[in-house]
Amino acid sequence: MSMYFVGIDISKYKHDCCILAAADQTVVSKFTIKNDKSGFEQLISTLHSLSNPENIKIGFESTAHYALNLELFLENANHSFMEINPLLIKEYKKSTSLRRTKTDSVDCESIARWLMTVEYKPHSKGFYHAYSLKSLTRLRDRLVRQRSFYLVKITNVLDHTFPEFKPFFHERLSKTALFLLENYGSAEKMARMNAASYEKLRSLSRGRFSPQQFLQLKELAANTVGINNSIFDVELNSLLTLYKSLVKEVGKLETEINKLIEEVHPHYMSIPGIGPISAAVIYSEYGDLSNFSTPAQMLAFAGIEPGINESGTESHGGRMVKHGSSQLRYVLINCCLPLIRFDMTFATYYAKKRAEGKPHRVAITHVAKKLVRVIYALERQGTDFNTQKLR
Protein backbone atom coordinates (compact mmCIF):
# COMPACT_ATOMS: atom_id res chain seq x y z
CA MET A 1 0.00 0.00 0.00
CA SER A 2 1.03 3.62 -0.50
CA MET A 3 3.03 5.42 2.18
CA TYR A 4 2.08 8.89 3.41
CA PHE A 5 3.93 11.56 5.38
CA VAL A 6 1.94 13.96 7.55
CA GLY A 7 3.36 17.24 8.85
CA ILE A 8 1.41 19.03 11.59
CA ASP A 9 2.14 22.58 12.70
CA ILE A 10 1.00 22.76 16.33
CA SER A 11 -0.47 25.92 17.84
CA LYS A 12 -2.65 26.73 20.83
CA TYR A 13 -6.10 26.78 19.21
CA LYS A 14 -5.59 25.03 15.86
CA HIS A 15 -3.26 22.64 14.03
CA ASP A 16 -2.33 22.93 10.33
CA CYS A 17 -1.84 19.62 8.52
CA CYS A 18 -0.12 18.67 5.27
CA ILE A 19 -0.21 15.16 3.77
CA LEU A 20 2.38 14.10 1.18
CA ALA A 21 2.32 10.93 -0.92
CA ALA A 22 5.63 9.07 -0.72
CA ALA A 23 5.32 7.79 -4.30
CA ASP A 24 5.55 11.15 -6.10
CA GLN A 25 6.13 13.55 -3.14
CA THR A 26 3.06 15.57 -4.08
CA VAL A 27 0.69 17.29 -1.66
CA VAL A 28 -2.37 15.09 -1.18
CA SER A 29 -4.18 17.44 1.16
CA LYS A 30 -3.74 20.55 3.28
CA PHE A 31 -6.26 21.42 5.96
CA THR A 32 -6.65 23.00 9.40
CA ILE A 33 -8.22 21.32 12.43
CA LYS A 34 -9.34 22.86 15.69
CA ASN A 35 -7.65 21.85 18.92
CA ASP A 36 -10.72 19.95 20.12
CA LYS A 37 -12.38 16.54 19.80
CA SER A 38 -14.15 17.30 16.52
CA GLY A 39 -10.88 18.52 15.00
CA PHE A 40 -9.01 15.41 16.14
CA GLU A 41 -11.74 13.15 14.77
CA GLN A 42 -11.54 15.03 11.46
CA LEU A 43 -7.81 14.28 11.32
CA ILE A 44 -8.24 10.59 12.14
CA SER A 45 -11.05 10.25 9.58
CA THR A 46 -8.82 11.78 6.90
CA LEU A 47 -5.93 9.49 7.78
CA HIS A 48 -8.13 6.39 7.77
CA SER A 49 -9.35 7.28 4.27
CA LEU A 50 -5.77 7.12 3.01
CA SER A 51 -4.25 3.94 4.40
CA ASN A 52 -3.59 1.80 7.48
CA PRO A 53 -1.83 3.46 10.46
CA GLU A 54 1.42 1.56 9.82
CA ASN A 55 1.69 3.24 6.39
CA ILE A 56 1.29 6.75 7.76
CA LYS A 57 4.20 8.65 9.32
CA ILE A 58 3.27 11.71 11.34
CA GLY A 59 5.62 14.42 12.54
CA PHE A 60 5.31 17.70 14.44
CA GLU A 61 7.60 20.08 16.26
CA SER A 62 8.14 19.67 19.99
CA THR A 63 5.91 22.41 21.45
CA ALA A 64 5.76 21.74 25.19
CA HIS A 65 2.22 20.95 26.38
CA TYR A 66 0.28 22.14 23.30
CA ALA A 67 0.67 18.78 21.52
CA LEU A 68 -0.05 16.52 24.49
CA ASN A 69 -3.78 16.01 23.86
CA LEU A 70 -3.15 15.28 20.18
CA GLU A 71 -0.39 12.80 21.10
CA LEU A 72 -2.68 10.90 23.44
CA PHE A 73 -5.47 10.91 20.83
CA LEU A 74 -3.14 9.56 18.11
CA GLU A 75 -1.78 6.88 20.42
CA ASN A 76 -5.30 5.70 21.30
CA ALA A 77 -6.07 5.56 17.56
CA ASN A 78 -2.98 3.32 17.05
CA HIS A 79 -1.09 5.95 15.07
CA SER A 80 2.62 6.55 15.65
CA PHE A 81 4.14 10.03 15.62
CA MET A 82 7.56 11.64 15.80
CA GLU A 83 8.41 14.76 17.78
CA ILE A 84 10.94 17.02 16.03
CA ASN A 85 13.33 19.63 17.37
CA PRO A 86 12.08 22.98 15.93
CA LEU A 87 15.69 23.97 15.21
CA LEU A 88 15.98 21.12 12.68
CA ILE A 89 12.91 22.33 10.78
CA LYS A 90 14.21 25.90 10.83
CA GLU A 91 17.55 24.82 9.37
CA TYR A 92 15.81 22.59 6.80
CA LYS A 93 13.69 25.50 5.58
CA LYS A 94 16.82 27.64 5.22
CA SER A 95 18.44 24.94 3.09
CA THR A 96 15.48 24.66 0.71
CA SER A 97 14.67 28.31 0.11
CA LEU A 98 16.24 31.75 0.38
CA ARG A 99 12.84 33.34 0.94
CA ARG A 100 11.89 34.29 4.47
CA THR A 101 8.37 32.93 4.44
CA LYS A 102 6.77 31.76 7.65
CA THR A 103 3.16 30.70 7.65
CA ASP A 104 1.47 27.75 9.30
CA SER A 105 0.69 26.32 5.87
CA VAL A 106 4.33 26.51 4.81
CA ASP A 107 5.55 25.14 8.15
CA CYS A 108 3.40 22.00 8.08
CA GLU A 109 4.57 21.17 4.54
CA SER A 110 8.20 21.72 5.58
CA ILE A 111 7.70 19.29 8.46
CA ALA A 112 6.21 16.66 6.12
CA ARG A 113 9.03 17.05 3.57
CA TRP A 114 11.71 16.94 6.28
CA LEU A 115 10.09 13.75 7.58
CA MET A 116 10.67 12.13 4.19
CA THR A 117 14.43 12.77 4.41
CA VAL A 118 15.20 11.21 7.79
CA GLU A 119 14.88 7.92 9.62
CA TYR A 120 11.44 7.75 11.19
CA LYS A 121 11.75 7.38 14.95
CA PRO A 122 8.25 7.28 16.43
CA HIS A 123 7.57 8.37 19.98
CA SER A 124 7.54 5.44 22.40
CA LYS A 125 4.22 3.99 23.45
CA GLY A 126 2.92 4.85 26.90
CA PHE A 127 4.78 8.11 27.41
CA TYR A 128 2.71 8.97 30.51
CA HIS A 129 5.61 8.62 32.94
CA ALA A 130 8.02 10.66 30.82
CA TYR A 131 5.57 13.52 30.33
CA SER A 132 4.41 13.47 33.96
CA LEU A 133 7.98 13.49 35.24
CA LYS A 134 8.96 16.30 32.87
CA SER A 135 6.07 18.43 34.16
CA LEU A 136 6.85 17.68 37.81
CA THR A 137 10.64 18.09 37.58
CA ARG A 138 10.40 21.36 35.68
CA LEU A 139 7.84 22.72 38.15
CA ARG A 140 10.08 21.62 41.01
CA ASP A 141 13.01 23.41 39.40
CA ARG A 142 10.99 26.66 39.18
CA LEU A 143 9.88 26.38 42.81
CA VAL A 144 13.42 25.65 43.99
CA ARG A 145 14.59 28.80 42.20
CA GLN A 146 11.83 30.80 43.91
CA ARG A 147 12.78 29.25 47.25
CA SER A 148 16.39 30.36 46.71
CA PHE A 149 15.15 33.86 45.84
CA TYR A 150 13.27 34.17 49.15
CA LEU A 151 16.27 32.76 51.00
CA VAL A 152 18.37 35.60 49.61
CA LYS A 153 15.71 38.12 50.63
CA ILE A 154 15.63 36.69 54.17
CA THR A 155 19.41 37.06 54.31
CA ASN A 156 19.10 40.68 53.16
CA VAL A 157 16.73 41.46 56.04
CA LEU A 158 19.00 39.72 58.55
CA ASP A 159 21.93 41.80 57.27
CA HIS A 160 20.00 44.81 58.60
CA THR A 161 18.57 43.36 61.82
CA PHE A 162 20.99 40.66 63.01
CA PRO A 163 24.02 40.29 60.66
CA GLU A 164 25.76 37.88 63.06
CA PHE A 165 22.90 35.32 62.85
CA LYS A 166 23.67 33.44 59.60
CA PRO A 167 27.46 33.25 60.16
CA PHE A 168 26.66 31.69 63.56
CA PHE A 169 24.75 28.93 61.71
CA HIS A 170 27.50 28.60 59.07
CA GLU A 171 25.45 30.48 56.45
CA ARG A 172 22.66 27.85 56.54
CA LEU A 173 19.04 28.19 57.60
CA SER A 174 18.68 24.90 59.48
CA LYS A 175 15.50 23.79 61.27
CA THR A 176 16.87 25.33 64.45
CA ALA A 177 17.65 28.63 62.72
CA LEU A 178 14.20 28.78 61.10
CA PHE A 179 12.53 28.03 64.44
CA LEU A 180 14.39 30.93 66.04
CA LEU A 181 13.45 33.35 63.26
CA GLU A 182 9.79 32.30 63.28
CA ASN A 183 9.33 32.37 67.05
CA TYR A 184 11.65 35.20 68.06
CA GLY A 185 12.51 37.07 64.86
CA SER A 186 14.49 39.98 66.24
CA ALA A 187 17.86 39.99 68.00
CA GLU A 188 16.24 41.80 70.94
CA LYS A 189 13.87 38.88 71.58
CA MET A 190 16.64 36.29 71.14
CA ALA A 191 18.75 38.10 73.73
CA ARG A 192 15.91 37.57 76.26
CA MET A 193 15.53 33.80 75.66
CA ASN A 194 15.38 31.67 78.83
CA ALA A 195 15.86 28.06 79.90
CA ALA A 196 12.45 27.05 78.49
CA SER A 197 13.53 28.43 75.14
CA TYR A 198 16.68 26.32 75.21
CA GLU A 199 14.73 23.15 75.97
CA LYS A 200 12.65 23.68 72.84
CA LEU A 201 15.79 24.23 70.76
CA ARG A 202 17.53 21.20 72.27
CA SER A 203 14.52 19.01 71.51
CA LEU A 204 14.21 20.32 67.96
CA SER A 205 17.90 19.77 67.24
CA ARG A 206 17.90 16.36 69.02
CA GLY A 207 20.55 17.54 71.44
CA ARG A 208 22.94 18.93 68.83
CA PHE A 209 22.32 22.54 69.87
CA SER A 210 24.45 22.76 73.01
CA PRO A 211 24.01 25.09 76.05
CA GLN A 212 27.29 26.78 75.06
CA GLN A 213 25.92 27.57 71.59
CA PHE A 214 22.71 28.86 73.16
CA LEU A 215 24.59 31.24 75.46
CA GLN A 216 26.88 32.34 72.60
CA LEU A 217 23.85 33.16 70.40
CA LYS A 218 22.24 35.16 73.22
CA GLU A 219 25.44 37.16 73.65
CA LEU A 220 25.63 37.87 69.91
CA ALA A 221 22.00 39.00 69.95
CA ALA A 222 22.56 41.28 72.92
CA ASN A 223 25.56 42.95 71.26
CA THR A 224 24.46 42.97 67.63
CA VAL A 225 25.15 45.92 65.39
CA GLY A 226 21.82 45.31 63.67
CA ILE A 227 18.82 47.65 63.65
CA ASN A 228 15.69 46.91 65.69
CA ASN A 229 12.87 48.02 63.39
CA SER A 230 9.29 46.73 63.33
CA ILE A 231 9.10 47.13 59.53
CA PHE A 232 11.91 44.59 59.14
CA ASP A 233 10.05 42.24 61.49
CA VAL A 234 6.96 42.39 59.25
CA GLU A 235 9.08 41.82 56.13
CA LEU A 236 10.89 38.88 57.73
CA ASN A 237 7.65 37.19 58.81
CA SER A 238 6.19 37.55 55.31
CA LEU A 239 9.33 36.14 53.65
CA LEU A 240 9.50 33.22 56.10
CA THR A 241 5.87 32.32 55.35
CA LEU A 242 6.56 32.29 51.60
CA TYR A 243 9.81 30.34 52.07
CA LYS A 244 8.15 27.68 54.26
CA SER A 245 5.28 27.34 51.79
CA LEU A 246 7.73 26.65 48.96
CA VAL A 247 9.66 24.15 51.07
CA LYS A 248 6.38 22.29 51.69
CA GLU A 249 5.36 22.32 48.02
CA VAL A 250 8.80 21.16 46.85
CA GLY A 251 8.55 18.29 49.34
CA LYS A 252 5.16 17.25 47.91
CA LEU A 253 6.51 17.31 44.35
CA GLU A 254 9.56 15.27 45.33
CA THR A 255 7.34 12.63 46.94
CA GLU A 256 5.35 12.28 43.70
CA ILE A 257 8.52 12.30 41.56
CA ASN A 258 10.08 9.56 43.71
CA LYS A 259 6.96 7.42 43.34
CA LEU A 260 6.84 7.77 39.55
CA ILE A 261 10.55 7.13 38.95
CA GLU A 262 10.45 4.06 41.19
CA GLU A 263 7.72 2.61 38.95
CA VAL A 264 10.06 2.99 35.96
CA HIS A 265 13.34 2.41 37.86
CA PRO A 266 15.84 2.91 35.02
CA HIS A 267 19.10 0.98 35.27
CA TYR A 268 21.16 4.17 35.62
CA MET A 269 19.65 4.75 39.07
CA SER A 270 22.24 2.21 40.21
CA ILE A 271 25.07 4.64 39.36
CA PRO A 272 26.55 6.31 42.48
CA GLY A 273 25.51 9.95 42.56
CA ILE A 274 22.28 9.55 40.59
CA GLY A 275 19.40 9.81 43.04
CA PRO A 276 15.67 9.67 42.32
CA ILE A 277 15.33 13.38 41.43
CA SER A 278 18.34 13.35 39.07
CA ALA A 279 17.15 10.07 37.51
CA ALA A 280 13.69 11.59 36.99
CA VAL A 281 15.15 14.60 35.16
CA ILE A 282 17.32 12.38 32.95
CA TYR A 283 14.40 10.06 32.19
CA SER A 284 11.91 12.85 31.47
CA GLU A 285 14.24 14.94 29.31
CA TYR A 286 15.70 12.08 27.24
CA GLY A 287 12.49 10.07 26.99
CA ASP A 288 12.86 6.71 25.27
CA LEU A 289 16.61 6.06 24.89
CA SER A 290 15.92 3.67 21.99
CA ASN A 291 15.39 6.84 19.92
CA PHE A 292 19.15 7.45 20.19
CA SER A 293 21.30 5.20 18.03
CA THR A 294 24.61 6.41 19.52
CA PRO A 295 25.81 8.08 22.74
CA ALA A 296 26.94 11.01 20.58
CA GLN A 297 23.29 11.75 19.79
CA MET A 298 22.53 11.82 23.51
CA LEU A 299 25.42 14.25 24.06
CA ALA A 300 24.11 16.47 21.28
CA PHE A 301 20.60 16.36 22.76
CA ALA A 302 21.95 17.52 26.13
CA GLY A 303 24.12 20.18 24.49
CA ILE A 304 27.41 18.96 25.99
CA GLU A 305 29.10 18.10 22.72
CA PRO A 306 31.88 20.44 21.56
CA GLY A 307 31.34 22.73 18.61
CA ILE A 308 33.61 22.18 15.60
CA ASN A 309 35.30 25.01 13.74
CA GLU A 310 36.76 23.92 10.43
CA SER A 311 37.99 26.16 7.63
CA GLY A 312 40.53 25.36 4.92
CA THR A 313 43.49 23.59 6.50
CA GLU A 314 42.49 24.49 10.06
CA SER A 315 40.21 22.36 12.24
CA HIS A 316 39.70 22.58 15.97
CA GLY A 317 37.06 21.95 18.60
CA GLY A 318 35.18 24.75 20.25
CA ARG A 319 33.11 25.31 23.38
CA MET A 320 30.05 23.30 24.32
CA VAL A 321 27.18 24.03 21.95
CA LYS A 322 24.72 24.28 24.90
CA HIS A 323 21.68 23.51 22.75
CA GLY A 324 18.95 21.28 24.10
CA SER A 325 17.71 21.02 27.67
CA SER A 326 19.63 23.23 30.11
CA GLN A 327 18.02 21.34 33.02
CA LEU A 328 19.31 18.01 31.67
CA ARG A 329 22.78 19.44 31.14
CA TYR A 330 22.84 20.88 34.68
CA VAL A 331 21.79 17.56 36.26
CA LEU A 332 24.27 15.47 34.27
CA ILE A 333 27.18 17.70 35.25
CA ASN A 334 26.04 17.91 38.90
CA CYS A 335 25.78 14.11 39.11
CA CYS A 336 29.49 13.94 38.33
CA LEU A 337 30.51 15.72 41.54
CA PRO A 338 29.60 12.82 43.90
CA LEU A 339 30.56 10.32 41.19
CA ILE A 340 34.23 11.36 41.18
CA ARG A 341 34.20 11.05 44.98
CA PHE A 342 32.66 7.58 45.27
CA ASP A 343 33.70 5.72 42.11
CA MET A 344 37.35 5.00 41.41
CA THR A 345 37.01 4.70 37.62
CA PHE A 346 35.35 8.10 37.24
CA ALA A 347 37.74 9.63 39.81
CA THR A 348 40.71 8.32 37.79
CA TYR A 349 39.24 9.68 34.57
CA TYR A 350 38.71 13.11 36.19
CA ALA A 351 42.30 13.09 37.55
CA LYS A 352 43.59 12.20 34.07
CA LYS A 353 41.82 15.20 32.52
CA ARG A 354 43.12 17.49 35.26
CA ALA A 355 46.64 16.17 34.69
CA GLU A 356 46.25 17.13 31.02
CA GLY A 357 45.90 20.72 32.19
CA LYS A 358 42.14 21.05 31.86
CA PRO A 359 40.34 23.31 34.40
CA HIS A 360 37.86 21.75 36.83
CA ARG A 361 34.77 22.72 34.82
CA VAL A 362 36.19 21.31 31.58
CA ALA A 363 37.30 18.09 33.30
CA ILE A 364 33.83 17.66 34.87
CA THR A 365 32.28 18.11 31.42
CA HIS A 366 34.43 15.25 30.13
CA VAL A 367 33.26 13.13 33.07
CA ALA A 368 29.65 14.01 32.15
CA LYS A 369 30.28 12.75 28.62
CA LYS A 370 31.58 9.48 30.01
CA LEU A 371 28.52 9.29 32.28
CA VAL A 372 26.19 9.66 29.27
CA ARG A 373 28.03 6.84 27.48
CA VAL A 374 27.60 4.64 30.57
CA ILE A 375 23.87 5.50 30.81
CA TYR A 376 23.45 4.59 27.14
CA ALA A 377 25.22 1.24 27.63
CA LEU A 378 23.27 0.31 30.78
CA GLU A 379 19.88 0.94 29.16
CA ARG A 380 20.81 -0.78 25.90
CA GLN A 381 22.15 -3.84 27.73
CA GLY A 382 19.39 -3.83 30.35
CA THR A 383 21.84 -4.14 33.23
CA ASP A 384 22.71 -2.26 36.42
CA PHE A 385 25.93 -0.34 37.04
CA ASN A 386 29.04 -2.39 37.80
CA THR A 387 32.25 -0.43 38.24
CA GLN A 388 34.31 -3.59 37.53
CA LYS A 389 33.06 -3.59 33.93
CA LEU A 390 34.01 0.04 33.26
CA ARG A 391 37.03 0.92 31.18
What would the pLDDT profile of 107-127 be if each residue is shown by its tens digit? Answer: 899 999 999 999 898 876 656
Q: What is the pTM of this model?
A: 0.72
As a residue count, the chain comes to: 391
* Range name among 83-92, 120-129, 277-286 with the lowest pLDDT average: 120-129
Between 98 and 175, the more confident residue is: 175
Q: What is the pLDDT of residue 49?
A: 92
Answer yes or no: is pLDDT of 17 > 60: yes
Angstrom distance (rounded) from CA 4 to CA 355:
55
pLDDT of 388 above 80? no
Q: What is the pLDDT of residue 96?
A: 75
The strand pairing partners of 390, in sequence order, are: none
pLDDT band per the 50, 70, 90 thresholds, residue 236 = very high
Candidates 215, 153, 227; CA nearest to 188 is: 227
HSE value, Cβ hemisphere, 13 Å, CA-based, for 357: 0
Check residue 271 and report its DSSP letter. S
How large is the average pLDDT for residues 157-180?
91
The conformation of residue 164, written as its DSSP 8-state character, comes to T
Judge whether residue 319 has pLDDT over 60.
no
Instruction: Please enumerate in sequence order all residues whose Cβ is within 8 A of that of 88, keeping only pairs 6 or more positions apart, or say none.
Output: 114
- Evaluate if residue 357 carries a pLDDT over 80: yes
φ/ψ of residue 308, rounded to 5: -120, 130
pLDDT computed for residue 89 by the predictor: 87
The pLDDT assigned to 321 comes to 53
Assign 293 to helix, strand or coil: coil
**Tens digits of residue pLDDT in 60-81:** 988 767 788 888 888 888 898 9
DSSP β-bridge partners for residue 82: 59
For the segment 164-187, the average pLDDT, to the nearest whole number, is 90
| Cβ contact 77:48 at 8 Å | no
pLDDT of residue 303: 87
Cα dist from 243 to 149, 150, 330, whole Å: 9, 6, 24
User: Which helix or strand (DSSP H or E) is residue 325 part of?
Assistant: none
**Phi and psi at residue 78, to the nearest 5°:** 65, 25
